[in-house]
Amino acid sequence: MSHDIVSPLCNAAKSKIFLLVLDGLGGLPHPRTGKTELETARTPNLDRWAAQGATGLHDPVAPGITPGSGPSHLALFGYDPIEENVGRGVLSALGAGLEMTKRDVAARINLATRDAEGRITDRRAGRISSEEGKRVIGLLEKNVGIPGVEIILRPEKEHRAVVVFRGDGLDGNVHDTDPQATGVPAKEAAPLEGAPSAARAAEVANEFIAQARKILRGEKAANEVLLRGFAGWNPPVSFRQRFQLRATAIAMYPMYRGLARLVGMEVFPEMPSIEAEVDALPKAFEGADFVYMHIKQTDTAGEDGNFDRKVAVLESVDALIPQMERVAFDVAIVTGDHCTPSLMKAHSWHPVPVLMRGGTTYVDDTKEFGESACRRGALGRFPAKQLLQQALAAAGRLDKFGA
């Protein structure tokens, strides 16, 4: 793993690094113009940064792999997104804005339907509306109860929700109850092989499921809950311990604040707008060597399939670059956690544009920030988990390896 070399080399130089993540940054060419969202947007400031530094493409997890926000952010933070995956339940809890503790086990819920014999008839309850999902989860919230265990429920989109069981002796090494098929009953929650310490968590999960079935007996829309991605709160070695960086995070959405908190960054409170995020930058750098800023709107526009809005968001971020660069950081990185092409209305597997400038970053020939330019950039195409170490190097924060 990359950190095995990097972590022991990190020093506490005074230089500062700024990581600007434009969620879902990369796109695909518009059929009419042959240009992506980023290439269509007028971004004179980002282009100037690209000209002053080097560009390239990163693969968040591996070539061809479409990542969720969790693994892709861990990679941008210098962690191995495969070896150090933190569990789907935890990511869902972070996304719902829940602050997990060591006594918690989180799991994702699928609302589903079952027949009179208990066989699953629809694993997603006909993709019920988010409103219906919220109502059903509200019913559960009001009526479930297990002595000694706090049960925290949050609806997500449509049939999805998250549950956190909080109590003593809970261990997240529990099998999914989702049978991944219809016509068969849900599985019982059970400890994973070799994890007898998860017996109590499995028992709690089974009791929760039994109560949920009773509570939802009369419901047409959803009368079953399938649980998967059980996981406890096991944060990796902190960002500060690992990279000698005091880090602050600025983000509008709970998921990204949660991911920053997971690696031990200081996290600023919820921000109402991109402008508010940028206004917070000077304060974020007070006493910090590293600031991570997350912009969500690029991804939202991509997910909505709104090419023009994604272009507009990119232009509005570009217009704020002059304000950002009034803050004295040494090395800046601008990239995405993954691509969200408007034409796909979803996260995609394509490599993600990245630019780095400042410190001892070399200056390559690319003078624009866009997918085509980045393909020719000197950073080349590389695994995202190797991005931070290059920024540390450019900032003079890495000692020599070997004699």
Counting residues that bind a second copy (by CB under 8 A) gives: 65
Closest by CA to 212, choosing from 186, 184, 241, is 186
Query: Least distance from C-beta 243 to a second copy, angstroms?
Result: 12
Instruction: Please report whether residue 193 would count as binding a second copy according to CB under 8 A.
Output: no
Residue 44 near residue 318 (C-beta atoms within 8 A): yes
Region 105-124 residues binding a second copy, contact defined as CB under 8 A: 108
User: Which of 350, 352, 354, 357: binder of a second copy (CB under 8 A)?
Assistant: 350
Over the window 304 to 343, marking each residue x when it contacts a second copy by CB under 8 A and - when it does not, the resulting string is -------------------------------------x--
Q: Which of 347, 354, 355, 369 forms a contact with a second copy (CB under 8 A)?
A: 347
- Give the three-state DSSP class for 283: helix
d(CA 334, CA 347): 18
In the bound complex, what is the minimum distance in angstroms from residue 381's beta carbon to a second copy? 4
**360: exposed, middle or buried (Cβ count in 10 Å: 0-12, 13-18, 19+):** exposed
When asked if residue 67 is in the footprint of a second copy (CB under 8 A), the reply is: yes
The crossing angle, in degrees rounded to 10, of helices 387-394 and 69-76 is: 30
Q: Which is nearer to a second copy, 63 or 148 (CB)?
A: 63
Cβ burial, residue 218 (10 Å; 0-12/13-18/19+): exposed
Residue 398 binds a second copy, judged by CB under 8 A: yes
241 binds a second copy (CB under 8 A): no
Strand partners, 59: 383
Q: Does 261 bind a second copy (CB under 8 A)?
A: no
Q: Is 372 in the site for a second copy (CB under 8 A)?
A: yes
Task: Write the DSSP string, 349-376.
Answer: -S-EEEEEESTT----S--S-SHHHHHT
Query: Based on the number of CB atoms within 10 Å of its own CB, is 24 exposed (0-12), middle (13-18) or buried (19 or more)?
Result: buried
> Is residue 4 a contact residue for a second copy (CB under 8 A)?
yes
**Residues lying near a second copy in the complex (CB under 8 A):** 2, 4-6, 9, 28-29, 34, 57, 61-72, 81-82, 85, 88, 91-92, 95, 108, 229, 341, 344, 347-351, 360, 362-365, 371-372, 375-382, 386, 389-394, 398-403
